[in-house]
Structure 1
Amino acid sequence: TACHDQNTWFVSLRNAIDGISEEQASWKDNESTNSIWEIVNHLAFYNQRYLNRFNGIPNAKGVNSNDSTFYNNGEISWQSTIKLIDKIMTDWRSSINNCNDEKMNDWSSEIAHLTLHNAYHIGQIVHIRKQMGAWDREQGVH
């Protein structure tokens, strides 16, 4: 919930990307950094991969490198990317709410690491928005 749609100690992903245009999502201050869109692609890749594993669904393929997870390989629009990550995060919440205690205990370390990974990249998104001058302090953590 904290990573998905409710601000807590940090801004949730939904609030971090709310109101971002496709142009803003693609913005980079230089070529060695990732754009917001690239970061969301990366989050979608890893969250879907771990969700599949959590639910016993085989993942179709691996990746050549971690860097490749940032790119929009499916060439989907920014709005479709937002819908995709929102669905993945909603599915995570549902899967966690519906699992038993034993499974939760078995997965607690993996989920903790995934949550830290999400929080790190959400912080990057907020930082990029601040660099662009596209962050409203009312959206969450200052």
Structure 2
Amino acid sequence: MPNPLVQALIAHFDSVFEGPNGDYPAVLEALSGISVTQALWKPLPKQNSIWQIVEHLIASKEWQIDMLKQGQAASPVWTDHSGDEIEWQAALGQLRDAHHRLKLALAQVSEDELLTIPVAEWNRTLLELILSSGPAHEAHHAGQIDYLKGLQAK
């Protein structure tokens, strides 16, 4: 069983990702019922679609996993998508899988490692890096998804 600090981190990640958290939609709540057409829609050509936000969240979780396991992470590789239902559902599955693997990676880190391991590139400890790139970042994007979903409901 992970230590209390890690348990609290995992619970916070779960609250923001799966809900419930009361004040704003969790990521999965915001994504609920979104069709491929909605996922691909952009309010303006240079803005991101819901699908692109999902890909960004996957890349962010992969980055956090790599930072926890290796202390460094590669830049994500962005790919184009065909825009069919199977590919959209696969992207949602990848997001859920990345969340699960992030929780497993967090569970393997000790409290001491979180509090003392410096990540020189970011001038932060591992805990500070995970907190700044984790739940608050996901909550921000859940709000974006919910907003884009609402714009399409007019």
Same fold (TM over 0.5): yes
For structure 2, the 5+ residue unaligned runs are 1-13, 116-124
1:63-117 deviation per Cα after TM superposition (whole angstroms, max 9, x unaligned): 5xxxxx7x5x063711111000111111112222332111232422111111222
| Match of residue 124 from structure 1 | 144
For structure 1, the 5+ residue unaligned runs are 64-68, 135-142
| Paired residues for 1:1-142 under 5 Å | 1-8=14-21, 9-56=23-70, 59=73, 61-62=74-75, 71=78, 73=79, 75=81, 77-105=87-115, 106-114=125-133, 115-133=135-153
Cα distance in 1, alignment partners of residues 27 and 140 from structure 2: 11
Q: CA deviation at 1:11?
A: 1.5
Contact 1:4 1:13 in 2 (8 A): yes
Moved more, 90-99 or 122-131: 90-99
Runs (4+) off by over 3 Å: none
1:39-68 deviation per Cα after TM superposition (whole angstroms, max 9, x unaligned): 111111121012112112864x435xxxxx
Structure showing greater Rg: 2
RMSD (CA atoms): 2.2
Count of matched residue pairs:
126
Contact 1:96 1:104 in 2 (8 A): no
Change (3 A) 1:48 1:74: farther
Change (3 A) 1:97 1:10: farther
Moved more, 86-95 or 122-131: 86-95
What fraction of aligned residue pairs are identical, expressed as a percent? 20
Change (3 A) 1:56 1:40: same
TM-score (norm 1): 0.77
